């Protein structure tokens, strides 16, 4: 998810380009692909607060994924994950 989709007031909008990502959609009944926007409205006062909230809820922001991939073992990065015994 792009961290640039905040509106300046703590809300986040993302676009879904194809409704067939949902298993409930019956593919044989679709005449054309339809996309839509999803806006997550928060009570955060800033985009930084909203990003922190959504990150804690598991929103996979692109910059967070890069940070985790390059984290040192002491920071819990991939090299620091416990090995199965």
Does the pLDDT of residue 65 top 90, yes or no?
Answer: no
The model's pTM is: 0.64
Helices (H) and strands (E) in the chain, counts: 2, 2
Encode 64-76: b = buried (16+ Cβ within 10 Å), e = exposed.
eeeeeeeeeeeee
> Is 59 within 8 Å of 3 (Cβ atoms)?
no
Does the pLDDT of residue 84 top 50, yes or no?
Answer: no
> Is 43 within 8 Å of 4 (Cβ atoms)?
no
Does the pLDDT of residue 50 top 60, yes or no?
Answer: yes
Q: What's the confidence (pLDDT) of residue 51?
A: 95
User: Across residues 12-23, what is the average pLDDT?
Assistant: 92
Report the candidate in 66, 50, 62, 63 with the shortest Cα–Cα distance to residue 12.
50
Domain boundaries, the chain: 12-67
Q: What's the confidence (pLDDT) of residue 80?
A: 46
């Amino acid at each position: 998810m792009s961290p640039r989709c905040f509106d300046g007031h703590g809300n986040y909008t993302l676009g879904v380009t194809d409704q067939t990502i949902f298993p409930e959609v019956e593919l044989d009944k679709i005449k054309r692909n339809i996309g839509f926007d999803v806006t997550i409205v928060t009570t955060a006062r800033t985009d930084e607060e909203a990003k922190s909230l959504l990150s804690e809820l598991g929103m996979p922001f692109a910059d967070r994924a890069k940070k985790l991939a390059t984290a040192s073992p002491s920071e819990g990065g991939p090299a620091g994950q416990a090995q199965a015994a």
